[in-house]
């Protein structure tokens, strides 16, 4: 029960890795706000958590919209009285079409940045007054290994996740005086139930060749680290990026 009596907002928690985070946080004692653009999926996850004896609130949230994000935080405080943890998991990725950067339209660039970069910024901005007031907070941003590897044909996604990484450094400095930590998790090669047209079997083969650990990752490879960053165990860590990449750098 590492998160007993804590309140966590997890964005993009209606499916995939976000759902696993939400369910595990609830098991560890947190009241969880399941935030997702798809309100039906958010409600399903919240209901499953409640049925298992946990505490959860579904929130239909568009992280790219400041009013929607503000409403999410206001409803969280009204329901649970506080916000202790924010996991910025919502992002556009699985639906992306790989293409050379010359073929990426301005509209596609802006739409992706609105969710991946601005969405992270807006959520951090919305929870900061509550966390500052309580002089406690754990913010966990989700970036990607592609920021380092520069994987071809993903320029817009890579740039957006690089912005998340840089924002982590900036906010760790600004929020540290109020005992709020801000860290990043940078995953690589994670499989969920969400279909991905962006990588073929040949792509997976190349991925595994580049890894020290020769297997695909799944949510269980991430959730322990995210729990650590959300708990008291990481209270002296901020502004850091933890790379969960199966040892890419060692190949």
Residues serving a catalytic function are: 157
**Partners of 140 in the beta sheet?**
87, 183
- Answer whether 43's CB lies under 8 Å from 54's CB: no
Alpha helices in the chain (DSSP H): 16-27, 39-51, 66-80, 106-116, 118-134, 146-149, 155-175, 201-210, 220-230
φ/ψ of 109, rounded to 5, equals: -60, -50
- Cα 129 from Cα 160, distance rounded (Å): 25
Q: Report the alpha-carbon distance of residue 127 to residue 137 in Å, rounded.
A: 9
Beta bridge partners of 183: 140
Going by C-alpha positions, the residue among 135, 185, 131, 199 that lies closest to residue 17 is: 185
Alpha helices in 104-154 (DSSP H): 106-116, 118-134, 146-149
How many angstroms separate the CA atoms of 61 and 129, rounded?
A: 19
- Cα-to-chain-centroid distance, residue 23: 14
């Amino acid at each position: 029960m590492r998160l007993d009596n804590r309140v966590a907002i997890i964005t993009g928690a209606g499916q995939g890795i976000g759902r696993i985070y939400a369910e595990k946080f609830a098991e560890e004692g947190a009241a969880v706000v399941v935030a997702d653009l798809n309100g039906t999926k958010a409600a399903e996850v919240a209901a499953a958590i409640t049925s298992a004896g946990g505490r959860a609130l579904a929130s239909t949230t568009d992280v790219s919209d400041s009013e929607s994000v503000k409403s999410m935080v206001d409803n969280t405080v009204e329901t649970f009285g506080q916000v202790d943890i924010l996991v910025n998991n919502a992002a556009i990725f699985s639906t992306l079409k790989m293409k050379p950067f010359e073929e990426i339209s301005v509209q596609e660039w802006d739409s992706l940045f609105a969710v991946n970069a601005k969405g992270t910024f807006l959520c951090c901005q919305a929870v900061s007054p509550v966390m500052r007031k309580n002089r406690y907070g754990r913010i966990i941003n989700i970036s990607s290994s592609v920021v380092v590897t520069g994987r071809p044909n993903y320029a817009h996604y890579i740039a957006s996740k690089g912005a998340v990484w840089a924002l982590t450094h900036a906010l760790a400095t600004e929020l540290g005086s109020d005992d709020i930590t801000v860290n990043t998790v940078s995953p690589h090669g994670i499989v969920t139930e969400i279909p991905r047209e962006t990588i073929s079997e040949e792509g997976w083969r190349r991925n595994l060749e580049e890894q020290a650990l020769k297997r695909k990752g799944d949510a269980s490879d991430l959730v322990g680290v995210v729990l650590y960053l959300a708990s008291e165990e990481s209270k002296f860590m901020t502004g850091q990026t933890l790379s969960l990449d199966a040892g890419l750098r060692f190949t």
